[in-house]
Amino acid sequence: MPIPSTAADAAALLGVGLTADRDTIRDRYRRLARIYHPDANPDDDAAGVRMLELNAAVDLLLGSDTPTIDVGIDEAPRNDRALTTRERRQDVRIRSALQHLPYGIYVVGTVTPEGKANAMVADWVMQVSFRPRIICVSFERDAASLRNVRETRQLTVSLLPESGMDLAARFLQPTDPSKIEGRSAEFAAPDKMRGVGYVQLEHPQLGDGAPVLEDSLAWIAAEAQQFIPVGEHVLALCRVFDGDALPIDEGPLTSLYTGWHYGG
């Protein structure tokens, strides 16, 4: 069965009724996941695809309440008790160490259900599977781009050359200014795509696609198939369906070059 795109398809794949309650859906998903998970079927190449189908189905039916399988991360909020002096010093050391991890400066393109292109800068992007090719993109839970991806299932990743700092800076401002403490609606970011050269890809099944920046060093187009809540972020696991590297004689723009940090 192909990756489900409607609630009816998702319910049929999981073997539950369209009116099934959330606990029934979660229980059915967990039972099937234990059967078809690639870890339980190391010699079956189809197991990974089957899990993608199951993950897409449960996400369609449950959305942000999608259960996690073998994530291994405690999602409980951090205890807000006052830290001791020793704990504060340790926290500073940990933050400093994590900020030394290098990341790319990626422009993640999305599209609204109405077909309007949008983009944001992201650092936490990486490939996590060869067969099928899957990339993982981490979004803040309240990101406008995450809402777009949940609704349209499409995103692109444009990797910029080192000369692209000014272009990257255009996409740093959040669409919702209230996400930055003390900012009001008057500081709302203008249309981020205005004056930027880009091409909107068209997905063969999903229609109007997300934007790819013309001045990118390389780009990837992918379809979101699973969303995993992790702490204050949500991981989008996306299956790559197109991409290219352009003949630009420069290295990629990374945090080692910009000095920008997103970590700690």
The domain locations on the chain are: 7-65, 97-258
DSSP-assigned beta bridge partners for residue 222: 155, 240
- pTM value > 0.95: no
- Please state, rounded to an integer, the average pLDDT across all residues of the chain: 80
**E strands within 72-133?**
106-111, 117-122, 125-129
Torsions phi, psi of 52, nearest 5?
-60, -40
- Of 13-17, 27-31, 78-82, 134-138, the range with the highest mean pLDDT is 134-138
Q: What dotted CATH number matches 7-65?
A: 1.10.287.110
Tell me the CA distances in angstroms from 24 to 52, 56, 61, 192, one per residue in order.
20, 17, 11, 42
- CA 194/CA 196 separation, integer angstroms: 6
Q: Which CATH number fits domain 97-258: 1.25.40.20, 2.30.110.10, 3.20.110.20, 3.40.50.620?
A: 2.30.110.10
**Which candidate, 163, 262, 138, places its Cα nearest to that of 213?**
163
Indicate if the alpha-carbon torsion angle 6, 127, 219, 245 is positive or negative: negative
Q: What is the pLDDT of residues 60-116, one digit of tens each?
A: 788 645 554 443 333 334 444 566 778 778 888 888 888 888 898 999 999 998 989
pLDDT at residue 177 in the model: 52
Biggest CA-to-CA distance, the chain:
57
